[in-house]
Structure 1
Amino acid sequence: MSRIDSHQHFWIFDPVRDNWIDDSMKKIQRNFLPEDLSPLLSENQFSGCVAVQASQSEEETNFLLDLASKNDFIKGVVGWADLRSKNISERLSHFSQFEKLKGFRHVVQGEPDDFMFGTAFRNGIASLAAFNFTYDILIFHHQLPAAIDLVKIFPEQKFVIDHIAKPDIKSGDIASWKRGIEEIAKFENVWCKISGMVTEADWNNWKPSDLKPYLDVIFENFSADKLMFGSDWPVCNVASDYKELVKTLEDYMSQLSIEDQNKIWFNNVKSFYNLND
């Protein structure tokens, strides 16, 4: 069975640009490049990955596209462009020449709660479909109501929720996040990445049973056709190693049919991002 990691990052560490990687995350205050990820993918039966933007610049998008052009295992790139720009269609037209560029993301978790209601941002979202670009929704759980409104307004746009919308796993708080997931999962144009969970848990003391109630919610609400695995490597390294992440999901999914497991490890990410073999 082949697998594709739907969500990971590369960077040449810059303490100013990457100031979100603070001293509590010393483990990842260094460069992470394709040669660091490639052996981990091989060891865990992954044939490829999708590289996702970590900083908000077109330079970042170009950096990831350059890496993808030199490494066949990088099957797709989720980049950044200023979706609020008046010339967003022109920028999207420019980026549409790159076959491996599949979609865009904005770090909405760092924005005010009303960000996704902004006219300029929504104009950018409205521009994506013409170029068949996807959009990754990166939010905290309390921003789910705004995300629900967004996906409702753009039924033809393909969306995927990153990191299961970042519930507060460490505290065990689940109720309001669960309500939001139940609502957003009803929309046919929304997928969800099983990613970023360990970094919302207690980094040093989490165990699979801490994640299970949250996994139960997303598996109950998103069908096996709408879920995909993402490691969030190397961010995950602050709380786990790659192998442990994969094993945790393997164990949880052992109850599923092989067909459904294959969808979550491989088929869904391939079809969502329209990846080539």
Structure 2
Amino acid sequence: MIIDTHIHIWDTNKSSYGWLSGAPELLKRTYTIDELDAARKTAGIDAGVFVQADVQMEDSLHMLEVARNSEWIKGVVSWLPLADTGWTAKLLEEKLLKDEYFVGVRHLIHDEKDPQWLLQPAVIESLKILAAHNIPYDVVGVLPEHIETILKVTELVPDLQMVFDHLNAPPISSGAHYGRWGELMQEVAKNKNVYAKISGLGTVAGAQKFTAEELKPYIGFVLEHFGADHCFCGGDWPVSLLAKDYVYTWEVYKTVLSSLLSGEALASVYAGNAIGFYGLKL
């Protein structure tokens, strides 16, 4: 079994998606889950998880509705207004905790000017609420400072499970092995509540460097330091189309992973770890 833990859909009639105004033309349209069906079958993907694409509840409610009507989508990583602890608690109590497809939370911290956005007192209080309910948090960081912030979050909210989306943008394009990114990832990996999501590496690397050979050192690095029991995968469709197509993306990931792992460890990275982290019901 292979679970794609990072799929986006968006409907420009349902939410604002402010970031799309500055995005490449390829992404400036509605993307539906039906568009992915043939490619995911070819790629051998058995189940999927939606991940938020807007800092509005309309986006999350849209994903939850689509998930309820999709045979293979098993969870939704929602947005929550973490900077408003009262509103966060209210949405959880009145809506999200009652929804079987709600499995996690994310905020677009890479779009915030302050890389320490998560350290605001109100946000920390909201993260404590997530931890109390065993709700994991997806970290979409792109800077070393984002990893430094997560190191502080682990001290302030020690029970919160977190995962670094797209491995927090390793320096693949520069070919650095492994620079400040590597030092910080090695440090944060010591915390057993922090996981690594092997996803989005095509857009991180750039299309010309999105090959198994180029990615292998970085994927091998996170497997070594986080452990095969703390990594899982995501295709990052449709953003990943900026680099290569969906089937190619998964071919690269599978080539690298099968060269580094086998048996139970490989099965854990493909599915078992994601099931445990998000509490997926298959």
| TM-score w.r.t. length of structure 1 | 0.93
The Cα shift of 1:19 comes to 4.5
Unaligned ranges ≥5, structure 2: none
Return the letter of the residue paired with 2:5: S
5 Å-filtered alignment, 1:161-240, equals 161-173=164-176, 174-204=178-208, 206-240=210-244
1:189-239 CA-partner distances (Å, limit 9, x unpaired):
111100011101123454332222211211111111111010011100010
Structure with more of its chain in helix, by fraction: 2
Give me the identity figure in percent: 29
Quote the Cα distance in structure 2 between the aligned partners of 1:75 and 1:172.
36
Which residue of structure 1 aligns with residue 256 of structure 2?
252
Residue deviations 1:138-193 (CA, integer Å, cap 9, x gap): 11132211111112322211111111011232223430000111011110111110
Aligned to 1:265: 270
Please say if residues 137 and 160 of structure 1, whose CA atoms lie closer than 8 Å, have aligned partners that are also in contact.
yes
Contact 2:124–2:156 (CA under 8 A) maintained in structure 1: no
| Distance across 2 between alignment mates of 1:89 and 1:23 | 32
Report the AA paired with residue 44 of structure 1.
Answer: A
Helix, strand or coil for the counterpart of 1:254?
helix
Count of residues in correspondence between the two structures: 276
Partner of residue 126, structure 1: 128
Rounded to whole Å, the distance in 2 between the matches of 1:24 and 1:257 is 38
Note the aligned Cα RMSD (angstroms).
Answer: 1.9
Do the aligned residues in 2 keep the contact of 1:160 with 1:190 (CA within 8 Å)? yes
**What are the residue-to-residue correspondences of 1:38-117 with 2, within 5 Å?**
38-87=37-86, 88-94=88-94, 95-111=96-112, 112-117=114-119
**d(CA) in 2 for partners of 1:19, 1:206:** 28
Normalising by the residue count of structure 2, what TM-score does the alignment of the two structures yield?
0.92
- Asked whether the 8 Å contact 1:92–1:128 carries over to 2, the reply is no
Q: After alignment, is 93-102 or 212-221 more displaced? A: 212-221
Residue in 2 aligned with 1:144?
147
Q: Which residue of 1 aligns with 2:10?
A: 11
In structure 2, relative to structure 1, the CA distance for the partners of 1:23 and 1:146 (3 Å cut) is: closer
**2-structure distance, mates of 1:145, 1:241:** 33
For 1:211, the aligned partner's letter is L
Shift of 1:20: 2.9
Alpha-carbon distance in 1 for matches of 2:242, 2:189:
29
